[in-house]
Structure 1
Amino acid sequence: MKEKVLLVDDEEGIRTVLSVAIADAGYTVVTAENGTEALSILSREPIQLIVTDIKMPGMDGLELLQKIKKLNHEAEVIMITGHGDMHSAIESLRLGAGDFITKPLHEAALEISLERALEKIQIREQLREYTENLEHLVLEKSKELVEAERMAAVGQTVASMSHAIKNVAGGLEGGMFVLEKGLELENQEYLRQGWEMVRRDVERIKNLAMDLLDYAKPVTITPKECDPNSPAKQVRDLLLSKAQNNNVELVLDMAHTLPTMRLDPKAIHECLTNLVSNAIDACQDLLEGDKRVTIRTMDGGGLSVKYIVSDTGHGIAPEILTKVFNSFFTTKGSRGTGIGLMATKKLVKEMNGSIMANSGLGRGATFTITIPTAHVVT
């Protein structure tokens, strides 16, 4: 279906010529000879693209522009102005016009202006769809969490989730603003930056949805006889390439005297994967110095096994350290979802264990998981 354009001009000859030019550009044209008729048309059908002359008897183009914006603030209005009337053209931009073209009109200039206006409308619609889908998805996951009673403080969870949504939506709005500026100024660098911002936040939406889905899955702890060092070895092997790609040394320091124990190696593996991945991220931003992550295992006095993940990153401030296990809290900015540590704490709790964080600015961070167990007599 062709996009409709409302053309407003008090001169019949100009309406005829411009109608042909706009139709040749692939649009359906609706005409009005004055502002009153234009507003009457817009009240009956929501036309998004409007081209109007500024100088008209009665209601001029500037007054019409203000009334259009009150009816639909997202309408794209292109103003037609005389060559010497730049003051009115600039005033129209201040009042919300998307563009202006000067007389005598050139068909190519009009077509380019319409294309840019249509691109703005399409970008807004796409971003609105992304945001609506995100809100719908997060609401669905919220209901699942509440119905399964997976969170003790539902009010706190909803508030935290709303904050996460707000952050992503804010990022999308920022990307939209940069994209619109790129279209308005025909600046390829702005367009590239804006699209990168949108792409990044769409990826964050996907990660948030997947993390929520994983978090909502029922947890079943299945202990079995195993080597307590085995999950640590597997995580080291799994994340070694990520560490190397970020110039981070990944060290494995195992207590070789640990006996066979009854543990859930899969759950421990998942916990260590989250912690080690976070530790690598904490080191990758260091510009210089020792970039190292250490995975350590220790015997907890015959009653438990300890898994310790430490890094040499920037560290975590004391006021932030108390919040790292909160729902949807993240120190990674746009890169994080705030679910990794929350899910880790949940798994550790299901294993009747505990997790502690210790850090300070400039001295890295250390996370210690303690899992109660029983030595298996062999």
Structure 2
Amino acid sequence: MYDRQSARILIIDDEKGMLDLLSYELGGQGYQVVTAQNGREGLERVKRDRFQLVITDVKMPGMDGVEVLQEIKKLDPDLEVIMTTGFGTIETAVAAMKKGAYDFIQKPFNLNEVTNLIEKVLERSELKSLVALYEASKAIFSSVRIDSLLPILADLAQKLLRADDASIMLPGLDGKLAIAASRGLEGEAEKAARLALGERIALGQAAQEPVIFEGPIHRDPRFSDLRLKDSILSAVVCPLRSKDKVLGALCAARTASDVPFNYSDLRHAQIYLSQVAQAIDNARLVQELENKMEDLKGAYAELEKMKDELAQAEKLRAIGELAAGVAHELNNPLTTIIGLADLLIEDGDPSAERMQDFSSIKSQADRCRKIIVNLLHFARKQRFEMRQASVNEIMENTLELVKYELQSSGIEMVKELDQAVPTTRLDPNRIQQVFLNLVTNARDALAGRERPKLVVRSSYAGDLIRVSVSDNGSGIPEKVLQRIFDPFFTTKDVGKGTGLGLSISFGIVKDHGGAIRAESREGEGTAFTVELPVTI
């Protein structure tokens, strides 16, 4: 049911007696009545004030009632208009209805008939407002993301309450109230005034119910500290509550219209607020849920990574034990073979053919011994000689070792070493072993490629140093990429690789508290990244 005391009715008629009669009768029933003696005066009042109903005569000098009706519908299509005339015809009534009039009354009229019609019009207007609130609720709950929801809420508040501006205020990270979204506000001074209303009225009254602030604000001693560029004449200021929790505040202000907010506006605000608070609460719950889901995804990814690293470490341990046993078993007979080969070379038949055979035996035995040394390095927990060192300097020394090989292979070498990378505590010899392995692998991958290119980079972020070695070689297939850190796994030809280089590098980096990973695209190239913690 609408509230009569908040219903404003404009009566336009060139007969003063009719204006006085309707003003007296309708005013006595509790309506707020404003009068105008001609069409142009009536239109000016519609432009300045807010009305729920206009009653206008048809036959008036200058601008007749039908013209007034047309102009009113241009200004406010939702404003209802009742036409009255003592010289009406069916044609006039039809023309008025076609142009948007709610109804047509013939003079002289019965006052009861007029008041009954007014009640119907205002009830319809109230129903339209409630329908608008329902439509607003559908728009509100269509969005569950807080960043897109808040502008919708401010826009709807401005329209539903017919305010010149509206703002949604929520606590920031520092706990202080801040404007999260607004419509019709631009200047910082204007925003500060709305924040003051939110803090001192909505939240300053134990955050209970919406209230109407009656301005102008510049005359209110509570806001004498504000530098105001506009004057808030009237405002609806509301705490946003969800259950027992205060979420923030909403402020809808009128600065251009002299018509203050009334009880009907306050009731609409209360209905709207219940939806706003629930929508904000829902959006926040969705956001919290999404954040938790992201955290869970991150935790799951980290768990999977740890599981893979644990499986890799267990695999290395098992194979390491096997390798150590094999190495020890082979080491003694191999030492005998090498020693006898040396004796045969020194004391044997000097014929070229036999000497070549002995040299071949010695060469292959030495290769076997190097493999055994690598096996023992892989199997045993080596003692590191830790000290502060620069990864950039270690990489520079590594590249110097292979400089000639890279140049002779026609490989373009690009260095992008960040000089801001700090020193860290590590074993320089072991880390150089890792870098050398990655660079030589990249060199091998570039064999036969057009415009071969090898890029080394270093960077520093947070507490991690990153060093990458990338090439534009043939790349590594996905199935192979999953196994490259497995011991004895190699894609090189027989005799050209033991399959231990990356396994040993993996162990060295892991023992430094770091990580090593590979990314590759077939036909495009491969990039290895070593991450080391910054320690002192």
Q: TM-score range by the shorter chain?
A: 0.3 to 0.5
TM-score by length of 2: 0.32
Structure with higher Rg: it is: 2
TM-score by length of 1: 0.45
Structure number with higher relative contact order (C-alpha < 8 Å, ≥ 6 residues apart): 1
